[in-house]
Structure 1
């Protein structure tokens, strides 16, 4: 799969607005990076939960695309648990497959800080397109 075309399109979307970077992607693991800046923080000076949730959702969506050879899915359910506050530095979102049916895929994700601190975890279900193989 040619990720360069997908990433180029993504740079103009929410992915680009957040400042996400593709670190690695295959059908078993996707890793995305983000350098925290002031625009990622909430009024308490910690990374906004929406940023962390979006990172995990994007990592899992990218994994669906990797598993399905370019076909994309749509998030139908996202469950997030926040564990540790993040304030600065590099964040890495990792996504792993859990279960797949004919029309859905369930995945898990986590975000860790550069020191390995676990910021949050999530699971999500994605609806697959009808022609997905």
Structure 2
């Protein structure tokens, strides 16, 4: 995808305001079997000083996808990240299309445990385990 205004086939942009909307459009897979799969087209603005996609972009992507999946699992109640452990497994370069998948590992009445991973055409890039708190107010974590 060279034009960020036109998503690749099989993907549609989703509207996200705030920080994630600033770093680039998040795309959702249109395949029924890929409900928890999201895409992200990187560009030169996402690279660090050694020409790799910045770790902050990757962690933001993992956090956002984990939050969306948790939000859906919580019947669209606000969720906030309590903890997220990230593992960098490979490198992504500017221009790589990243796919992020998230799954619910466990949930309680107030917490949702989510696993997420990012892959590119070159294989695994990063993974994370997150604990999301269901909150009556999005800015409240306790």
Q: CA RMSD in A?
A: 2.1
Equivalent position of 1:95 in the other structure = 102
Aligned ranges 1:17-28 → 2 under 5 Å = 17-24=22-29
Q: Is the 8 A contact 2:65 2:116 kept in 1?
A: yes
Equivalent position of 1:69 in the other structure = 75
1:130 Cα deviation from its structure 2 partner: 5.1
Equivalent position SS for 1:119: strand
Q: Structure 2: state its 5+ residue gaps.
A: 1-13, 138-142
Query: Which string of whole-angstrom CA distances, capped at 9 and with x for unpartnered residues, describes residues 94-133 of structure 1?
Result: 11100101111110000001x25100111000111259xx
CA distance in 1, matches of 2:101, 2:132: 16
Structure 1 length normalisation: TM-score? Answer: 0.82
Equivalent position SS for 2:103: strand
Structure 2 length normalisation: TM-score? Answer: 0.77
Query: Which string of whole-angstrom CA distances, capped at 9 and with x for unpartnered residues, describes residues 43-99 of structure 1?
Result: 000000111111111001000111122212000101000011111320011111001
Q: Is the 8 A contact 2:105 2:114 kept in 1?
A: yes
Q: Which moved more, 1:35-44 or 1:13-22?
A: 13-22
Moved over 6 A (4+): none
